Amino acid sequence: MKIYKFGGASVKSADAFRNLAQIVQNHGSKSKLLIVVSAMGKTTNALEQVFDQAFHNKDYNNTLQQSRDYHFEVVQALFPDESHPVYEELEHLFSKLNDTLQTLNRQAGYDQLYDQTVSFGELMASVILHHFLQLQQFTNTWIDSRKYIQTDTTWREAKIDWNWTERLIKRDLPTILEQQLIVTQGFLGGTNNGQTTTLGREGSDFSGAIFAYCLHAEAMYIWKDVDGLLNADPKYFTETVRYPEISYQETVEMAYYGASVIHPKTIKPLANRLIPLYVKSFLNPAGEGTKICDCRYQKLAPAYIIKENQCLISFSVKDFTFISEKNLGTIFNALSELRLKINLMQNSAISFSVCTDCHEQRLEKLLQTLQDEFIIHYNTGLTLYTIKNYDTNSINKTIDGKQVLLEQRTRTTFQFVSK
């Protein structure tokens, strides 16, 4: 059996849905297939905005209405018969979303309520896809992934309870897959008392990998709007090359450094069961794409990875003593409590610097927590550049003309932070 994951861009319009059905027809209909789908287009961003407005008692009606119009426009184009049940189901989801927004219990906190709200994007997309495939004669079952992917309550970045998840998936899904396709949501999980969680932005890839792992899939496919795994983001670089084949490890490292092509947590479950991951273009499905697997090769083209919105924080001890392991422990604890991920760090005699993603609120809390013990300086709005498998040429052309605040090099990786 195979897993297909379709991201937001592959369901952003009625034509995109039609193209998706064509891909299922040409590539997926010969084997057992579970389809994981993200929210349509930029819906998650829109819902984040709706939720943020609602949480702060601002008027969210316009933003919500736009998202509603968008969904119904697509549905009207796909289902000419307005008595089709999809209309009622979508209506029902929007009314549930509205109820959720109107009854936010702010005591629960921002992140928990975020999950209860933003999750509607995937529910809507999957309901539409379920009905549309059905209409195209692909008999399929719609599955609520929150009932299978079991998590803790780390809101917005929930951790998987692998044992439970695997047990539930194995209990129900193989039997269904014997008969028909499954359509389910990416990004979502559920707790043991029925609350919705999310797995982190762009987490649908990870959802696909969880299903692949639990079902011992023969392969997972991610259908994207690029030709495969490229050595650089075409948004920033004019010349890119596609890797036809690349190892799990290399991909994990690229994702870790911030390559946006695959969610960083996706690879581990696949690698553990040696399930190959194909990254393919939904615009050019016949193209070769990239195969990510347990493979070896001589030399890879340098990979360029850019992480924006970085913050460089440096800590020094107030009385000019050296930075000790105990000091580092204090700093690491505070970073970990606040879920500020370290992307790069450097230690000197009297100071310690870290480069993290910039989250204003978390950063403020960090300063509050540590300001009594340390002198803290920080810069925001920075960019972290990483070159994997670098050579002199690739470094020179990247660093050219930039003001470098911190740099670090290992045998395979060159990184620097710049304004």
Q: Shortest approach of ligand ASP to residue 149 CB, angstroms?
A: 13
Residue 19, Cβ neighbours under 10 Å: how many?
18
Q: Shortest approach of ligand ASP to residue 262 CB, angstroms?
A: 10
Question: 60, 120, 138, 187: which one contacts ligand ASP (CB under 6 A)?
Answer: 187
C-alpha to C-alpha distance for 96 and 316, rounded to whole angstroms? 50
Question: 204, 231, 310, 418: which one contacts ligand ASP (CB under 6 A)?
Answer: 204
Q: Shortest approach of ligand ASP to residue 188 CB, angstroms?
A: 9
Which residue, 76, 66, 4, 22, is CA-closest to 41? 66
Q: Give the position of tokens 């000019």.
A: 320
Q: Rule CB under 6 A: is residue 221 a binding residue for ligand ASP? A: no
Q: How many residues bind ligand ASP (CB under 6 A)?
A: 12
Q: Which lies closer to ligand ASP via its Cβ, residue 7 or residue 302?
A: 7
Question: 28, 186, 189, 269: which one contacts ligand ASP (CB under 6 A)?
Answer: 186
Q: Rule CB under 6 A: is residue 121 a binding residue for ligand ASP? A: yes
Q: Rule CB under 6 A: is residue 266 a binding residue for ligand ASP? A: no
Q: Give the position of tokens 């040696």.
A: 274
Scanning 37-45, 60-68, 177-185, 248-256 for contacts with ligand ASP by CB under 6 A, the matching segment is 37-45
Q: Which lies closer to ligand ASP via its Cβ, residue 265 or residue 388?
A: 265
Q: Which lies closer to ligand ASP via its Cβ, residue 28 or residue 203?
A: 203
Cβ neighbors of 389 (< 8 A, separation 6 or more) are 299, 300, 301, 302, 303, 412
* Helices and strands in the chain: count of H runs, count of E runs: 13, 16
Residue 357 site contact among Mg ion, ligand ASP, none (CB < 5 to 8 Å, cut-off depends on kind): none
Q: Rule CB under 6 A: is residue 7 a binding residue for ligand ASP? A: yes
Residue 203 site contact among ligand ASP, Mg ion, none (CB < 5 to 8 Å, cut-off depends on kind): ligand ASP
Give a three-class secondary structure readout of 276-323. CEEEEECCCCCCCCEEEECCCCCCCCCEEEEEEEEEEEEEEECCCCCC
Q: Rule CB under 6 A: is residue 203 a binding residue for ligand ASP? A: yes
Taking only Cα atoms into account, the Rg of the chain, rounded to an integer number of angstroms, comes to 23
C-alpha to C-alpha distance for 190 and 342, rounded to whole angstroms? 28
Q: Rule CB under 6 A: is residue 89 a binding residue for ligand ASP? A: no
Contact 324, 298 (CB under 8 A): no
The angle, 0 to 180 degrees and rounded to 10, between the axes of the packed helices 110-118 and 120-135 is: 10
Would you give the binding string for ligand ASP spanning residues 40-69, x where CB under 6 A is met? ----x-------------------------
Q: Rule CB under 6 A: is residue 28 a binding residue for ligand ASP? A: no
Q: Rule CB under 6 A: is residue 264 a binding residue for ligand ASP? A: no
C-alpha to C-alpha distance for 132 and 35, rounded to whole angstroms? 13
Q: Residues in the site for Mg ion, rule: CB under 5 A?
A: 8, 38
Q: Rule CB under 6 A: is residue 8 a binding residue for ligand ASP? A: yes
C-alpha to C-alpha distance for 188 and 122, rounded to whole angstroms? 8
C-alpha to C-alpha distance for 47 and 34, rounded to whole angstroms? 26
Q: Which parts of this chain interact with ligand ASP (CB under 6 A)?
A: 7-8, 38-39, 44, 121, 186-187, 201-204
